[in-house]
Structure 1
Amino acid sequence: MATYEVAVILLVDSSGAVLMQHRDDRTPVSPNQWGLPGGHVEPGETPEQAAHRELLEESGLTVPELREFWSGPRPYEPGFPHTVTVHAFHGTTDARQQDVVLGEGRAMVFVPRDEVLDRDLGVTAAAILPLHLGNA
C-alpha cells in the first residue's frame, strides 16, 4: 500500500468566502465533487512549500503566509487503498474571483461561507471545512 502526504489550502477572501475547486471526473479521489486546492507533497518539499506550489498551479494565486492548522489521516474512500496524511493550511487573500486562473478541475471559485457546506464535498473537504467553519 502506498503512503504519501498531501497539502490542501483553505484560502479565505476579505468577505469570508472560501476558495473551492470543483474537481473533474479524471481525478482518482472525489471525482465531480467540491474540494480545496492542493495536492501531493513532492520529494524534497515541505508540506508548506507544496501548499504554496499547489495554490499557484491550481488557481494562479500566491499568498505571503500559510499557517498549518490541522494534520492527520485522510478519511477512507472506497476504491482508493492508499494511506494519505493531509496537511491543511489556512491563508487569507485580497484576491477577487476575477484574479483566479483555473489550472485544474472544472471550476475554482470563492464560495460564500454560508454556502460552503451545501456543496457536494469530497472526503477531505468534508473533514476539514467544519474545523474552519467552527473556529472562524
Structure 2
Amino acid sequence: MDIDHEVAFIVLTDQAGRILMQHRGPDKRAEPNRWSPPGGLIEPGEDPLTAAHRELLEETGLTATLTFTRAFDQALTDGTTVRMHVYTGDTDARQEDVVLGEGLAMRFLTREEMTTRPLAGNIKALLGEH
C-alpha cells in the first residue's frame, strides 16, 4: 500500500482528564465539520514528532511533552492512503490558555461531551479505543 500523506495527531489531556478536541471547518477535505484531536500534515523532510509539536503550537498555542503512541494507515474515500502518527501528552493548561489557531473551535471535552458532537470517523483509532 502506497502512503500518499502522513499526518500527526495530538491527544492532549488536561488535569481533569478531558481531551483537547478541534471542531474542523467546513472547508476541510477530510472530516469537515467534525471533531477530532488537533493535528495536520507532516511537511516534507519533517519527522512526525516535530510535526506534532508544530501542529500543537500552531493550532492551540500550547506546548507539551509528547509521547509516540501508535501509527496506522487509513484509506480515504478519494482513493488516497494516509499514515496517522498519534502522540499523547498531558498538560496543566486550562481552557482559557488555548488559542484557536485553526478550525471553528478548540475545547477540552469529557468523553461524555464527545458523544454529543459529530466525531471524526477514525476517532476510536486516534484515541486508542477499539
Q: TM (normalized to structure 2)?
A: 0.91
Shift of 1:43: 1.2
Distance in 2 separating the partners of 1:116 and 1:18: 9
**87, 93, 103: which is aligned to 2:91?**
93
Structure 1 gaps of 5+ residues are none
CA shift digits 1:57-105 (9 cap, x unpaired): 1111111x1111110112x443x32110000000000000000000111
Equivalent runs, 1:58-73 vs 2, <5 Å = 58-63=59-64, 65-73=65-73
Residue of structure 1 equivalent to 2:101: 103
- Runs of 4 or more consecutive aligned structure 1 residues displaced over 4 Å after TM superposition: none
Letter in 1 for 2:49: E
On the 8 A contact 1:58/1:101 being kept in 2, the answer is yes
Across the two proteins, how many residue pairs are aligned to each other?
A: 129
Structure 1 residues 58 and 30, CA, compared in 2 at 3 Å: closer, same or farther?
same
**80, 87, 111: which is aligned to 1:113?**
111
Letter in 1 for 2:108: F
Shift of 1:2: 6.6
Residue of structure 2 equivalent to 1:8: 9
On the 8 A contact 2:3/2:83 being kept in 1, the answer is no
Letter in 2 for 1:104: E
Letter in 1 for 2:111: R
CA RMSD of aligned residues (A): 1.7
Pair 1:43-2:41 in alignment: no
Pair 1:30-2:31 in alignment: yes
Q: TM (normalized to structure 1)?
A: 0.87
Higher relative helix content: 1
